[in-house]
A and B are shown apart, each in its own frame.
Chain A
Amino acid sequence: MTNLTTMDSPSFGAHLWRVTRARFGGNNFLLLITIILFAGMYLFGSVVYSSKNFGTLNSFFDMLNSNSALIVLAAGMTMVLISGGIDISVGAQIAMYCMMFAYFMEHQFVNAYVMILVVLITGIVFGLIQGVLVAYFDIQPFIVTLAGMFLARGMTAMISPQTISITNKDFMALAKFQIKFPFGGYTNAAGVYQQPFIYLHVVLALVALIALYMVMTWSKFGRSVYAVGGSEQSAKLMGLNVRRTKMMVYVVNGFLAAFAGFLFCLFSPGGAVEKAPAYEMYAIAAAVIGGAMFTGGVGNILGSVFGVLVQSTIIKFVNFNGTLSNGWPEVIRAAIMSFFIILQSVFTYVRKRRE
């Protein structure tokens, strides 16, 4: 990756800025609104709940610490939406991978690192099957991944209907690994200094996110995904292998789901049938709030992080308030999604009018 810094003659940064500026002029205007919305919400929370340490680095890291898997899922979902498809199997896949970790490490005593490899390969195979069905059998992605969702939940229960906790030493060492920050903490009511930290799985999630962003921006595959999502017919006439591109989208997403499963298991070590409920839906919501459109061709991988953060901030609000019912996060989530979907329509309409 070092060569990236020397990619452009002025500088990599200048290039990134130019690309970003060009993008914000277009569809990623939506992303800009998301970022502003998040910043606004967070700032608001920091002021209103300043006594409860809402605005501290600790509190911000909390959001990352509990959402690493979702960040990866949302990034992958954004890619799938850009291609014009959808993958609703990823939440159930997470449950399945967590159960695989729990069962094989605790009951079969398989090495933790071997299990990581096994899970990642399982994800690729799972994605490959879905991808072949979507791309080469021309089956609606919704239907294919709906079947995938049932399969993954079913497999989870077949491995073990009981909840299994993970005690594997190697695995728990990874799960508990913290990266502490020497600044930005605060002293709590009891007078103890709270040092901000992030878990290893957050770092892994961010690495996956940036890697996917780079693939989507600088690889032929990534640009082909945008082209296919923009117009499948045109992509075909321009000589792209549309079927292979679509298949690869699901393969990559299968891998990312497995990776997210690994991260989720680090966050919450154990297997249970009903683990990660509705995560595929949160991932879709994050992707949409982050600027992806269901019509395909439009979306930004980095935007999905803000989609996750916005949703996470809503939950934070309700938690910090303390008196609101648990229904509120969902209701606000609905309101924000509606807002963005309406914004997308307006945006599309304005663009059509301009033509």
Chain B
Amino acid sequence: MTHPLIRMRSITKNFPGVLALDNVDFTLHAGEIHALMGENGAGKSTLVKVLTGAEAFESGEIYLGDETQTIINNSPQQAQQRGISTVYQEVNLCPNLTVAENLFVGRQPKRFGFVHWAEMNRRARTIMEDIGVDINVEKPLETYSLAVQQMVAIGRAIDISVNVLILDEPTSSLNEAEVAKLFDLMRKLKGQGIGIIFITHFLEQVYEVCDKITVLRNGGLVGEYAIETMPRKDLVAAMLGRSFDDLAAIQHEGSDINEKSDEPLISAQGLGVRGGVKPFDLNIYRGEVVGLAGLLGSGRTEVARAIYGADNPDAGTLEAKGKKLRHNPLAAMRAGMAFCPESRKHEGCVADLSVRENIILAEQTKRGVFRLMSRAEQEKIAKKYVDLLQIKTASLETPISQLSGGNQQKVILARWLATHPEFLILDEPTRGIDVGTKAEIQKLCVELADEGMAVLFISSEIDEMLRTCSRIGIMRDLKKVGEISGEDLSSSTVMSMIAGGETHE
């Protein structure tokens, strides 16, 4: 059973200003589970969208099976007719309908022109039994867990006839037992000759269930590997794009470890969020830049959000300067925290407001609505940070949406600096900005720490972290697996811990 189901050749796609896919080849064989891996922006989703017709592509060919005729899917429906179905992380079913209806919506069995409920329920039971899920198909879908809902989505795809099943991060919100169940089903389908494309960022799961791995990076193909021939460390290196030898050469240029005060500024003990990051300990002292390293989805951002109170932790304690802290962002702000989030478009910038308004936003919030800052004061603060961070803007009143990405990032940074934080969380502060600005931001972090601030620095680029941080916490699969500091701080130790080798505690 090794005949190909899908062959994609030299697929190229441009988004405005970005080469999303660059000559990518991908082959899926019958009866194989094929992991598609890569960091954010690597092109996994785009490749799948091109395959399913959700996105158009500029050049390249897609062949179905052994056919010599190329195909182009113009819509997900058309792909589905050709036996290519996708099950997304967010289940695309109707929660208010029964399980049976979700399986048959739009193609209900009829009798005398009326929907034949009895027949529909009977067939639904058969489908769900076949995939090994024992549930009452007459109950609304929303009464079941996300895992079951995903099974229903898979059941629907299989029943409509499927050769190729694409699972787009199906396990992100499932617990371990549910994941095991899903894997059983995947193996069963594989046995029936179905080809499965499995997109995930959990390394463990790839090694548990997959046969092959295709790695993408920055829109380009890194390679296709059989799972046996690809050790974890090499996979991480392939995804992050550096060999171990290259990385070993980079020197740790970060500031020497400052003298720690005895009392940690921020102390999290056993802090965890149900369905999110597993309980972790983290102490952060004045004058240090602490990094959080890990692959995308490993729980870096979740740690930051739990500390800042953006997600409500349900385990453990959080103390700021020895005092217990309530779990909400305003309390965190008042305790001197500032959180500069990852997606500046969605969580950071208020696009229609001016540079000045964006800068003073957090400080004003902290003061409360009844203590409005005067216009003069606002301008003074804004001016100060525009100069300090060398933000390139036509004026203080320019809408932030007109600034370049790097400058927008600086405005967000200025917003949080304006609140005079003692503890600054920066989540991917350098993503998508030019090299010069990156260096400036890294330098700024070290300077701020030297002045006595504590910084939590999250980044996907290991050398950037090595340059900036004096201590790095390692995240893997939503768990904090260790910490590295001082002498041990090298790219190879960081990489091997991310990949899941031996742990340093």
Point out residues on A near B: beta carbons under 8 Å: 3-4, 7-9, 15, 18-19, 22, 25-27, 214, 217-220, 222-224, 226-227, 229-231, 233-235, 237-240, 297-298, 351, 355
Interface centre among B80, B105, B108 (most CB of A within 10 A): B105
B140: A residues at CB distance < 8 A: 26-27
Pick the 4 closest A-B CB pairs, nearest first.
Answer: A230-B94, A297-B96, A230-B96, A218-B114
Q: List 13 A-B contacts (CB under 8 A).
A: A3-B111, A7-B117, A8-B117, A219-B115, A223-B101, A226-B96, A227-B97, A230-B95, A231-B92, A231-B94, A233-B92, A238-B94, A239-B77
Bound-state CA distance A239–B76 (Å) is 9
Cβ proximity bits B364-384 to A, threshold 8 Å, 1 near / 0 not: 000000000000000000000
A3: B residues at CB distance < 8 A: 111-112, 114
CB distance from A10 to the nearest CB of B (A): 9
A-B contact count (CB 8 A): 98
Bound-state CA distance A172–B142 (Å) is 51
A9: B residues at CB distance < 8 A: 118
Q: Are A239 and B94 in contact (CB under 8 A)?
A: no
Q: Are A234 and B92 in contact (CB under 8 A)?
A: yes
Cβ proximity bits B307-348 to A, threshold 8 Å, 1 near / 0 not: 000000000000000000000000000000000000000000
Q: Are B80 and A239 in contact (CB under 8 A)?
A: yes
CB distance from A148 to the nearest CB of B (A): 27
B242 contacts A by Cβ under 8 Å:
no
Q: Are A22 and B93 in contact (CB under 8 A)?
A: no
Contact of B108 among A19, A26, A220, A298 (CB under 8 A): A220
Q: Are B92 and A240 in contact (CB under 8 A)?
A: no
Q: Are A240 and B96 in contact (CB under 8 A)?
A: no
Q: Are A18 and B138 in contact (CB under 8 A)?
A: yes
Known: A22-B139, A27-B96; 14 extra A-B contacts, CB below 8 A, are A214-B114, A219-B115, A223-B115, A224-B106, A226-B101, A227-B94, A227-B97, A227-B106, A231-B95, A237-B92, A238-B94, A298-B96, A351-B142, A355-B145
Q: Are A240 and B106 in contact (CB under 8 A)?
A: yes
B95: A residues at CB distance < 8 A: 230-231, 297
Contact of B96 among A25, A220, A229, A355 (CB under 8 A): A229
Cβ proximity bits B85-105 to A, threshold 8 Å, 1 near / 0 not: 000000111111110011001
CB distance from A19 to the nearest CB of B (A): 7
CB distance from B276 to the nearest CB of A (A): 15
Bound-state CA distance A220–B112 (Å) is 12
Bound-state CA distance A217–B107 (Å) is 15
Bound-state CA distance A224–B96 (Å) is 12
Cβ proximity bits B138-153 to A, threshold 8 Å, 1 near / 0 not: 1110110110000000
Bound-state CA distance A220–B97 (Å) is 13
A18: B residues at CB distance < 8 A: 138
B101: A residues at CB distance < 8 A: 223, 226-227
Contact of B118 among A7, A22, A26, A237 (CB under 8 A): A7
CB distance from B49 to the nearest CB of A (A): 13
Bound-state CA distance A355–B274 (Å) is 12
Cβ proximity bits B118-152 to A, threshold 8 Å, 1 near / 0 not: 10000000000000000000111011011000000
A26-B140, A235-B105 given; A19·B117 CB < 8 A: yes
A237: B residues at CB distance < 8 A: 76, 92
B3 contacts A by Cβ under 8 Å:
no
A230: B residues at CB distance < 8 A: 94-97
Bound-state CA distance A219–B112 (Å) is 10
B116 contacts A by Cβ under 8 Å:
yes
Bound-state CA distance A164–B235 (Å) is 84
CB distance from A209 to the nearest CB of B (A): 18
CB distance from B170 to the nearest CB of A (A): 16
A298: B residues at CB distance < 8 A: 96
Bound-state CA distance A27–B146 (Å) is 19
Q: Are B111 and A7 in contact (CB under 8 A)?
A: yes
Cβ proximity bits B54-84 to A, threshold 8 Å, 1 near / 0 not: 0000000000000000000000110010000
Interface centre among B97, B101, B156 (most CB of A within 10 A): B97
Bound-state CA distance A240–B94 (Å) is 12
Bound-state CA distance A63–B339 (Å) is 61
Contact of B92 among A218, A219, A238 (CB under 8 A): A238
